[in-house]
Chains A and B, each alone.
Chain A
Amino acid sequence: SQTIHQWPATLVQPVGSPLSLECTVEGTSNPNLYWYRQAAGRGLQLLFYSVGIGQISSEVPQNLSASRPQDRQFILSSKKLLLSDSGFYLCAWSHDYGYTFGSGTRLTVV
């Protein structure tokens, strides 16, 4: 069966520090992968999506970047975090019956 793993679950980072969030999918090949962010009390915002290795599309200009070094691995990064980067980050993959989301990473930038 297909599963999606996302870590860490929670993270507290100082302003200006780097960030790396990892997402991996098991049980499928060549999945479409997505990074979403949800700020406190807000809706889900699409950040990046990828249809294959090395293929990244960005939806909004921001302080973040994404990479897909392997077929089932999707990484969200930042060189220098801002306070406004705080939020709930979700990785997802799409399939015939819709989308499956990871359990999320709650990032607090202090």
Chain B
Amino acid sequence: DAKTTQPPSMDCAEGRAANLPCNHSTISGNEYVYWYRQIHSQGPQYIIHGLKNNETNEMASLIITEDRKSSTLILPHATLRDTAVYYCIVRTSNSGYALNFGKGTSLLVTP
């Protein structure tokens, strides 16, 4: 699986958009970009995933660059409950293989 690079930490004011970047310059054509988050002392929670088109759901938006070498997860109106570690993972859609979590980005949403 392609390796990802994320900033170790970010801050965001409550109510503002949180934009979390991820670099995956070695991504291959059949690999998807997945985003998960882990709130303290809980299991990781699926947020969104995409292949090459931008995606949006009730939680977030995923913007993937045209060359697919980087992506941005957008939380449009961050709340205090969005404080968590966010993981960007790149892998194929074959669910027979496990996700390899890196260190992620620790997002702190402040009042």
Query: Which A residues are closer than 8 A to B by beta carbons?
Result: 32, 34, 36, 43-44, 46, 49, 51, 59, 88, 90, 92, 94-104, 106
How would you classify the secondary structure of chain B's contact residues: helix, strand, loop or mixed? loop
Is the pair A90, B43 in contact by a Cβ cutoff of 8 Å? yes
Residue numbers in B under 8 Å from A49 (CB-CB) = 97-98
Question: Contact between A44 and B101 (Cβ–Cβ < 8 Å)?
Answer: yes
| B44 surroundings in chain A (CB, below 8 A) | 44, 90, 99, 101
User: Are A43 and B101 interface neighbours, CB within 8 A?
Assistant: yes
Cα A47 to Cα B23 with chains together (Å): 26
Residue on B with the closest CB to A42?
Answer: B103
Contacts of A95 on B, CB cut-off 8 Å?
A: 95
A-B contact pairs, 21 of them (CB 8 A): A32-B95, A32-B96, A34-B98, A36-B101, A43-B101, A43-B103, A43-B104, A44-B101, A49-B97, A49-B98, A59-B98, A90-B43, A90-B44, A92-B43, A96-B95, A98-B46, A99-B46, A99-B95, A100-B46, A101-B45, A104-B43
User: Which B residues are within 8 Å of any A CB, using their own CB?
Assistant: 34, 36, 38, 41-46, 49, 95-104
Q: Which chain B residues border A90 with CB–CB below 8 Å?
A: 43-44
User: In the assembled complex, which residues on chain A have CB atoms less than 8 Å from the CB atom of B34?
Assistant: 98
Out of A46, A88, A98, A106, name the residue touching B49 (CB < 8 Å).
A98
4 closest A-B pairs by beta carbon, nearest first, are A101-B43, A94-B95, A44-B101, A98-B46
Give every chain B residue within 8 A of A36 (Cβ-Cβ): 101
Could you say which residues of chain B place their CB within 8 Å of the CB of A106? Answer: 41
